[in-house]
Structure 1
Amino acid sequence: MWVLSSENPCGRCRSQVVTFPARASARLGGEIPVRELHHTDPEVKKMPGKQVLVTGGAGYIGSHTVVEMVAAGFSPVVMDNLSNACPESLKRVEAITGTSIPFYSADLLDKPALQAIFDKHDIEAVVHFAGLKAVGESVAKPLSYYKVNVGGTTNLLEVMLEKGVYNFVFSSSATVYGEPQFLPITESHPAGACINPYGRSKYVIEEILKDLSIAEKDLKVVLLRYFNPIGAHKSGTIGEDPSGIPNNLLPYVSQVAVGRRPELSVYGSDYDTVDGTGVRDYVHVVDLALGHIAALKKLNDISGCKIYNLGTGTGYSVLQVVEAFEKASGKKVPYKIVDRRAGDSASVYADPSLAEKELGWKAERGLTEMCEDCWRWQSQNPQGFKKD
């Protein structure tokens, strides 16, 4: 029996958590908050199969990946400190999948909590999303990004090795490439010339994982460098719900379209691109989630550390995305042109052919579908996961 806590870990929804009672807490090495599950439907079941710890699994990409993991026969165990996520997302994941998802409200910097999760579950692999991810914030708070992203990951790796878990998929980023030296960007493109602490923190983690996979011969690592995830689950029940002002283009566009924000700021119109606005490689979040499933399966066949780009290979400008979204939503998106942001590149897009060749993965959803799915999520949930 669990003891209900009155603590509400998420300011955007009213989900509650439960905590282990004293005896269970002592066995597990300390109190670990767990979200209360409300399952009355007999079709809701616990999935058999390999247990995979998903850090940051209540977040945007993590929650979509958990859905696809269940569909693929994996048993996800989610941990998230809820700093930029809401447990309501996991309730909706459970509704989509008809499956009970174990959830721990825990922080990567809390090593005893990590150890307790590994002790309670027979974890065979880890998919690591958790971390701070706002580029602008990383410039203002670099120490926080190195402490949380790098320090949290080393904590996680230490506990994994301590518990004999050697399969690891890391959510990296195309930001590790820095300013493109050539396009499309292949995995052989020089990395490390990052232009902000967020990208550098991802690059440092990559280097740690490369070194560790040499020192620990049993460790298998897949690094996924993905480009610009957008879109939402086809049901419209889960999607991107950023805290505060969105850092990414499409959530901002959709919030303007739904009336939460007055207009979009377009940073620069004088780039050497088709219409003067910045070009990026946008990939549907469900395609991205399926890339993580392919990476988990690839762990059976590799040794050491492998790196793959996840993108479509096609770049779209800001104004092309706005136009596609207006067609998908039937809404006008007012915008204004403002000065360029420091460090922004004119064009960034991937060569994803290695992922197709070795993972059997290819992005299937185009820009129109990405915008339609994003609008379905935003129009059905104008305030995100917040419950009024």
Structure 2
Amino acid sequence: MNRILVTGAAGFVGGHVLPLLAETGDRVAGIGRGMLPDLPAGVTYETLDLLDEAALSGFVARFRPTAILHLAGLASVADSASGPGQTWRVNVNGLMNLVAAVEAVPGCTFFFVSSGEVYGSAFLAGHALTEAAEPLPRNTYARSKWVGEQLLRDLLPRIGVKLVVLRPFNHIGPGQDERFVVASFARQIARIEAGLVPPSLAVGNLSSHRDFLDVADVAQAYADLIGRAESLADGSVFNISSGHPRTIASVLADLRTRAQVPFEVRTAPERVRPTEIPLAAGDAGRLQAATGWRPRVDWDVSLTRVLDDARARAGTTQA
């Protein structure tokens, strides 16, 4: 029986991937800094901070994972710009502690969740990028992920641990933090509908094109790759993306058609990134060839789920 460890399991994606992994019959354990109230059957969970090196090493030595899905880390580009020191501490120091811990389990496979953000200036090519594109990160978050990839390429071969790098692009779904654009729009609409705020929705740059997936499709990609761990080459890199970018304006328009009340749109300067990329999209052909994965959740279904979740949080329901 395989033993799969998921770090950051209490986060946005963790709640979607844990049930998929549990369905395989493998032993699954999650660790994270927060509480996980809805624990899937057959999954164990322990509250643990990756910056606590002793506790982390002890847990890994006891569980002895055959595969690790490393979701933990700070994932907000905006937060990394305002607090770069914390981003580096969590995303790199926490990763270093995890590497030290996995020295006890040679032979396991380390699935490192990086980000499509690492491509950065390479997106200026104006088309969906494959994994062959050279990463040219443009912000602290992306640089921390790119450094993480390089760090693991240096350290894991020395301890006999296989590396697989995952580069997911933008993903949306119920429970996502409001710091991310689609969740932000949905929560603002829900509060406007509930009469909690004036009918004015704050936005950043609406002309940018971004590659969106439903979080359920991203979680399925992770599960599919973990299930094929033995066949994957050491050092493999996989984009997880739709390949079909949408403008932020079109996303807002799709949400507006679902809104129960009218609202105005205003540009908020603090929401405009100074290093905005016009188009960011990924080619997931390598992932599709390796696992047969493809996006399955319809865009309309994704947006409906996000808005319904936002309404529930605001105390409203669909009319």
- Per the TM superposition, whether the score is higher than 0.5 is yes
- Letter of the structure 1 residue corresponding to residue 100 of structure 2: E
Give deviations 1:101-145, integer Å, cap 9, x for gaps: 322111111111112212332422111011112212222322222
2:151 is matched with which residue?
208
Asked whether the equivalents of residues 228 and 281 of structure 1 are also in contact (C-alpha less than 8 Å), the reply is: yes
Give percent identity, aligned residues only. 24
Find out whether 1:315 has 2:239 as its counterpart: no
Amino acid of the structure 1 residue aligned with 2:169: F
Aligned to 1:38: none
| Match status 1:327 vs 2:270 | no
Query: 275, 290, 295: which is aligned to 1:358?
Result: 290
Which amino acid counterpart does residue 104 of structure 1 have in structure 2? E
- Give the aligned partner of residue 378 of structure 1: 310
Q: Does 1:135 align with 2:135?
A: no
Residue 15 of structure 2 is aligned to residue 73 of structure 1 = no
- AA at the equivalent of 1:304: D
Q: In the aligned structure 1, how far is the partner of 2:95 from the partner of 2:279?
A: 30
Return the letter of the residue paired with 1:173.
S
Cα deviation 1:26-68 (Å, max 9, x = unaligned): xxxxxxxxxxxxxxxxxxxxxxx42211110000011111121
- C-alpha separation in 1, matches of 2:268 and 2:312: 31
Q: Please tell me the residue identity of whatever aligns with 2:60.
A: F
- Contact 1:209/1:305 (CA < 8 Å) preserved in 2? no
Q: Name the aligned partner's letter for residue 91 of structure 1.
A: P
- Counterpart-to-counterpart distance in 2, 1:123 and 1:156: 12
Instruction: Report the Cα offset of residue 159 of structure 1.
Output: 0.7
Letter in 1 for 2:118: V
Q: Superposition pairs for residues 1-388 of structure 1, below 5 Å?
A: 49-82=1-34, 87=35, 90-92=36-38, 94=39, 97=40, 99-164=41-106, 166-179=108-121, 180-182=123-125, 183-191=127-135, 193-216=136-159, 218-232=160-174, 239-240=175-176, 242=177, 246-259=178-191, 262=198, 263-268=200-205, 277-328=207-258, 330=260, 332=262, 334-339=264-269, 340-382=272-314
Equivalent residue pairs, number: 306
CA 1:382–1:297: 2 relative to 1, 3 Å: same
In structure 1, C-alpha distance between the alignment counterparts of 2:11 and 2:263, rounded to whole Å: 26
1:321 alignment partner AA: V
1:328 deviation in Å?
4.3
| Distance in 1 (alpha carbons) for counterparts of 2:53 and 2:100 | 9
Partner Cα separation in structure 1 for residue 262 and residue 281 of structure 2: 27
**How many angstroms apart in 2 are the aligned matches of 1:250 and 1:139?**
20
Q: CA deviation at 1:329?
A: 5.2
The residue identity in structure 2 corresponding to 1:81 is: R
Call closer, same or farther: CA 1:358–1:163 in 2, change over 3 Å: closer
Distance 2:297 2:51 in 1: 36
Shift of 1:261: 5.8
Q: Summarize the Cα distance change of 1:189–1:380 in structure 2 as closer, same or farther, 3 Å threshold.
A: same
Give the TM-score, by structure 2 length: 0.89
CA RMSD of aligned residues (A): 2.0
Q: Tell me how far apart the structure 1 counterparts of residues 261 and 242 of structure 2 sit (CA, whole Å).
A: 26
CA-CA distance at 1:146 after TM superposition: 1.5
Give the Cα–Cα distance (whole angstroms) in 1 for the partners of residues 17 and 263 of structure 2: 30
- Once residues 113 and 165 of structure 1 are traced to their aligned partners in structure 2, the CA distance between those partners, rounded to angstroms, is 22
Partners in 2 of 1:375 and 1:249 — Cα distance?
13
Q: In the TM superposition, what whole-angstrom CA distance separates every residue of 1:261-286 from its partner, at most 9, and x where no partner exists? A: 654322235xxxxxxx1110010000
Instruction: Answer with 125-134 or 256-265: which moved more.
Output: 256-265
CA drift of 1:309 comes to 0.6
Q: Can you give the 5+ residue segments of structure 2 that lack an aligned partner in the other structure?
A: none
Deviation at 1:332, TM superposition (A): 4.4
Aligned partners of 1:52 and 1:123 also within 8 Å: yes
CA contact (8 A) 1:325 1:368 kept: no
Conserved 8 A contact 1:138-1:145: yes
| Corresponding residue SS for 1:91 | coil
Q: Greater helix percent: which structure? A: 2
TM-score w.r.t. the length of structure 1 is 0.74
Q: Deviations over 1:357-376 (max 9, x none)?
A: 11321111232111011123
| Distance of aligned partners of 1:329 and 1:265 in 2 relative to their CA distance in 1, 3 Å threshold | closer
